[in-house]
Amino acid sequence: MGRWPLIANQTPGRSVLQPAGPRRRVIFWRHGRTSWNAAGRFQGQSDIPLDEVGASQASRAAALLAGKLGSAVSGGHPVQILSSDLSRAFSTAQELASLTGGPIQVDPRLRETFGGEWEGRTFDEIITSFPEQIKQWQRDEPGVRAGGGETRVEVAQRMVDAVLEGVSVLPDGGTLVVTTHGGATRVAMAKLLGLPEPLWRTLSGLSNCHWSVVEAAHSADSGPGVGHWRLLEHNVGTLPEPYESPEGLDQPVED
């Protein structure tokens, strides 16, 4: 009976982006840990900085991403960094920029979901105080507002608008690194890939300092928009800690 061949040295730490040719890529990269992440609090657009663990995560993940981007840079393909203006994301982006030498473009449309009354509360507190609303929000029901704040659909739209605007100025083979947030990334990617809203839950959120990669299905001349992308990698983490799921099935996907 035949066997599948073994491939040596195929560890996550050695992952590199293959030459993109005519295709542009977007790397969605979630920020490092904050004290509110550690405490299980809904951050939303509250500007909570990285904690000590998060700063260390950002430094190590940036080094891995810089190595991953090496083939693109050496091949003459530009890499641009676009970041949420919240400090936890911008500080994470700065770690990569310090290695790539490029500037950081800041766009507030890349913020996490505005969570209204939920911000600062633990997920357990939210489940206790808003049991029906949180169940609807977990199911990605379009009209449900997180704590009276934003809906999933509104977050996805502003995120996708910002990403497509950033991609529009990239030449063929360019890469856009979007340093942002876990819950916002999930719905933005789902919309960008053309998934209908009932299927948005098929994608998980991102763990701290993990990333996902999408690639345009066509060259820059075709101006790829929603539904013209394909998923290459999702929730990839090559940090030396054991993998941790970004959320339990009984909790909302938010960072």
Cα–Cα distance between 17 and 190 in angstroms, integer? 22
Cα–Cα distance between 134 and 136 in angstroms, integer? 5
Given 112, 119, 150, 254, the catalytic residue? 112
What letters, b where the CB count within 10 A reaches 16 and e where it falls short, cover 190-218? bbbbebeeeebbebbbbbbbbbbbbbbee
Cα–Cα distance between 227 and 71 in angstroms, integer? 27
Q: Is 234 a catalytic residue?
A: no
Given 31, 77, 181, 210, the catalytic residue? 31
Gyration radius of the chain over CA positions? 18
Please name the residues in contact with 148: beta carbons below 8 A apart, sequence gap of 6 or more. Answer: 116, 117
Cα–Cα distance between 170 and 74 in angstroms, integer? 17
Cα–Cα distance between 203 and 210 in angstroms, integer? 14
Cα–Cα nearest to 254, from 163, 172, 137: 137
Q: Is 218 a catalytic residue?
A: no
Catalogue the active-site residues. 31, 112
